Amino acid sequence: MKHYIDFHEDVSFTDLDALLNTAADLKAQTKSGTLTPLLAGKSLGMIFSKSSTRTRVSFEVGMYQLGGQPIFLSSDDIQLGRGESIADTAQVLSRMLDGIMIRTFDHRDIEDLARFGTIPVINGLSDDQHPTQALADLLTIREHKGMLKGLKLAYVGDGNNVANSLLQACAKAGMHISVASPKEYTCPDFFVGQAKKDAAVTGSKVVLTESPEEAVSGADVVYTDTWTSMGQESEKAARVKLFAPYQVNAALMSQANKDAIFMHCLPAYRGYEVTADIIDSPRSVVFDEAENRLHAHKAILVHCLLNRK
């Protein structure tokens, strides 16, 4: 792949199968202690305008396990978009690095890095999308369910960057997806349209509703995320009130299939978007999901950086 920025645009149907298979193979290697230094001599610049636990650790450890060199760059370390233009930053980093992973607010910053640079750019998260999380989610579902096509994922809560990328990823994988959000916070039509375009190819269904019960009915996977993302702290009180009916609890989970699993990209806030008896139950796979960030991200790195001249 040239870049990994937008799941719909950058990941083809064959790319998705290859990424998931690579991630599974690399995970097996990690578990057996037989790591292959596929990216020896390669370097990855990691730009963080937003702080992170899982994204930083997974990419940093992933590059290390693949034999490459990760370089952490915080907003205090570089002048991206402030003293130096993104175009100049992209061209300079392209002369020194083999790839860039960026976690930031404005999605246009990621697109501009790719437009002006000459090396692969990986979207570690923007306000619009979170495609690296989506790949780890699909890997986790495949591990627990043995397949993806034909399964139903219900996302309940804020139609945020995670929900947007899940729409893209599920449609691409042939999974049915229902998103339940208040009408003020539903997923943008742009991402819904992308998902429906791929769903027409894979035969999956894309449903948006205001009813969490409708979304969760017959689901194989129930997924939620925090109600208040980074940068939205001033909205917390209003969001807690509005999203209260969208809490994933025992009553809501009872609408899903009996063997349904619970997922959350973390960090989670027990008592808000999910109750402790659900996230800490045997149905919860949130820590498998978190671990799979490492293996999914290694697959992305291999597919983007391995064959770069």
Residues with catalytic annotation? 103, 130, 133, 225, 265, 293
Rounding to the nearest 10 degrees, give the CA dihedral for residues 48, 52, 57, 58.
-90
From CA 273, how far away is CA 157, in angstroms rounded?
8
From CA 284, how far away is CA 223, in angstroms rounded?
10
Q: What is the phi/psi pair of residue 78, to 5°?
A: -130, 170
Contacts 24+ apart (CB under 8 A), 282-288: 283/253, 285/140, 285/144, 285/261, 286/262, 288/140, 288/143, 288/144
Q: What is the phi/psi pair of residue 187, to 5°?
A: -65, 140
Q: What is the largest CA-CA distance in the chain?
A: 55
Tokens 């999308």 belong to which residue? Answer: 129
From CA 287, how far away is CA 9, in angstroms rounded?
29
